[in-house]
Chain A
């Protein structure tokens, strides 16, 4: 659907896993779910996080692929590995800073969220964002997100010295501009 963007807000997630179950109903990868879902630390908290591929502007998975099997399309979507090319080496699995790609043994290839290419390319929302009962995963226009949410969409992430910009947005506290993952990112050790 043109003009729509994907937003992830783990603070809304209720851990129901509808996304996980609905993903495998999608026509391009039937029976296999591409959602990444975690209980953050069930003993300490009820917090859960469900997320999709972040679809990096300069995807690390594609950079490290020795078989040139991972493609970013014109609309910014980074696809699953191309079956004829993928050698199942798992470089992408190890390299992705977000931990998204999975090697699917039954198909001997890396598969990951392709933003429901079959749905989004014909004007539908991705399956997960359609069913998500808390709209922790949502697919709407930037105007709609600005008008309805208090949190701010962010798509700049720092992993140490690696800056990554993504197509998918993380909803962050209103005063956040970029998201840094590592405490080391907050320490001062001279110019980076």
Chain B
């Protein structure tokens, strides 16, 4: 039923992506030069959440002005931030709800579209049961919207299946930090980076994926800090590394266990800290005992001497920070990888102080805030566990329902798609998620979408996924609704409404609330503006790990952000965790874990002998729904390219610009080659922001980390062959 109604060409000509280069009114118009007002808010792209001022005239965003007073980025922006203002007046913006017809989509009234959506959801639930309908949310939503999605799924629909695209982002780190430290948050504010003397960066292409963090690293270097980079690619910041570790995709754990082995062997641990503040050190020590540098080198492809050196640099320092991102976490042992990083920090006492700590670099816009308040399948607001009776009771009371009405934990994002494919889930309501581009094994995702009996989407552009929908509810951009997000440091910040949604598009939260009313649950969704949602969220989070009770919009404006936990109105917030040596487990201790090596879920063999790894480029954001529509960003890196080393290229007679077919155990795509010495010779890299025949995720596999359920995007097996010409685009 949910097959796309038109050919890709027809869809593209009507809904884009078209390229928008020019501000409203054109470059020569006055609207950009002389705005009516400047709105202090934040970039919508990525977890850095840079402060930015949007120029507004005639209810349209016409440009930007740097916001130098905002402390995190002090006016700095990446190209995405500079050009983010070109979305609001974009010709592809959906200005009306769309209803599916036999030969495409037609504009509908809101009553028609919402009645239809509510009716279909109700029909499916009556026929197949409550859990036959699932909800997808997203980590680019404000925290208010994220909270609302969790409540809507559990109270509005009564389904247990709600999960979000943060499942593809922060869950490995979150699971590991929760297990080891008792809370899912980077323990240090970013200013701490500048105070470190050792920076160990693993699986994080900081320059392209968290550009503003570069400045923090460079400021540390200016003061003499040593920089260690572990990555299969020589990333932009690796150029200034004191030590570069070219780790083979999927083998970070071997490298980390090798380092920990050396740290323990050479007496570089902090026994007093371990004794006073941790449990389980023996388990970790036992796990890494067999991982001498030689063995770690054989698995990871990093020289034993380099492993020794890295271990000594980190182990001999009491101001070391260990930074990681998706490279480490997008693996079927993503949680263990992060636990190993935390274990190195704990074993050397590098935590809870200025310039010392393990930190995760959150990827998505509200990657932090979006995962704290109930959008995850196993979580309730305040980073509470859904299965915890006390948590259920607290939240049920705030929501004025009985704890028994709260559904049990449901499936995670990829598992939901699996259940759609198997026919267990029949209906899906999705917001802020483009799974056709962002989930692994895209052909499987397309098959699943085509099986849905009902598919509703809330979005501001018609994404590739939305093209499969029965109804598309024209929603709002970040700058069209007030709210909060939490940046990479867990600094809760204020997103200002700059303009109204254009045409008949509506704010996301009003759409959700209206839908809840039509489902007969209106009394639980009385909200008329985001501030009211935030007030309820404050109470729902009270006493939880991510306690927002003491945060108000006004306090955020006054302090330029409030770090949670912030339990009372007179509490200043908590920039650095664990300063008193107490961790967030009931025993107050940090917990070491056993670490165990496992192979990747898609191992290389004689037929598929090359490692494929995927990631981002600086000019694109996630599935590209927004950034593939902005001309200046598309021009910077128009099409995905296959990065490969000259040694590998020579074996296959490939030069830069040649077309190459990359084949995995799932599918094949054909891209142009970019021959570079900045990647391991046994590895190829493809950025993942594109759909169809240019989609890296046609090649990736659906193996999940057993605990975090994150897909293994960073390790697939493939083979390559020179091709005659380009492949298909759809």
Contacts and interface: CB of A to CB of B under 8 A. Distances in A.
Contacts of B22: 31
Interface stretch (B77-85, B87-95, B179-187, B420-428): B77-85
A46 B678 contact: yes
A4 to B, nearest CB: 13
Contacts of B208: 14, 16
A15 B618 contact: yes
B636 A44 contact: no
Contact of A134 (B82, B214, B646): B214
B676 A148 contact: no
10 contacts: A11-B240, A14-B237, A18-B211, A21-B633, A30-B27, A30-B28, A42-B674, A45-B239, A46-B676, A133-B214
B218 A134 contact: yes
Interface of A: 11-18, 20-22, 24-25, 27, 30-31, 42-48, 125, 127, 130-135, 148-150
A13 B218 CA distance: 10
A22 B63 CA distance: 10
Contacts of A43: 646, 656, 675-677
B76 A16 contact: no
Nearest to B66: A130
B656 A16 contact: no
Interface residues of B, number: 46
B66 A45 contact: no
Contacts of A135: 76, 215, 218
A112 B22 CA distance: 21
Interface string B672-699: 0011111000000000000000000000
Nearest to B83: A21
A22 B237 contact: no
B219 A148 contact: yes
A74 to B, nearest CB: 25
Interface in B49-108: 63-64, 66, 68, 73, 75-79, 81-83
B300 interface: no
B76 A133 contact: yes
Contacts of B240: 11-12
Contacts of B222: 148-150
Contact of B239 (A11, A27, A42, A125): A11
B621 interface: no
A17 B79 contact: yes
B236 interface: yes
B619 interface: yes
Nearest to A42: B676
A130 B239 contact: no
A16 B66 contact: no
B82 A21 contact: yes
A48 B73 CA distance: 22
Nearest to B32: A30
A14 B206 CA distance: 9
Given A17-B618, A21-B83, A133 B239 contact: no
Contact of A131 (B66, B619, B636): B66
Interface in B197-243: 207-208, 211-212, 214-215, 218-219, 222, 234-240
Contacts of B239: 11, 45-47
Which of A14, A27, A47 lies at the interface centre, i.e. has the most chain B CB atoms within 10 A of its CB?
A: A14
A98 B63 CA distance: 31
Contacts of B66: 127, 130-131
Contact of B211 (A31, A133, A149): A133
B236 A15 contact: yes
Given A31-B27, A46-B234, A16 B79 contact: yes
Contact of A16 (B33, B211, B234, B646): B211
B670 to A, nearest CB: 21
Contacts of B675: 43
B212 A133 contact: yes
A22 B676 contact: no
B211 A134 contact: yes
Given A18-B81, A25-B82, A43-B677, 17 more contacts: A12-B214, A12-B240, A18-B77, A18-B79, A21-B636, A30-B28, A31-B28, A43-B656, A44-B677, A46-B235, A46-B238, A47-B239, A125-B68, A127-B66, A130-B66, A133-B78, A133-B211
Contacts of B219: 148
A132 B237 contact: no
Chain B CB within 10 A, most for which of A18, A24, A132: A18
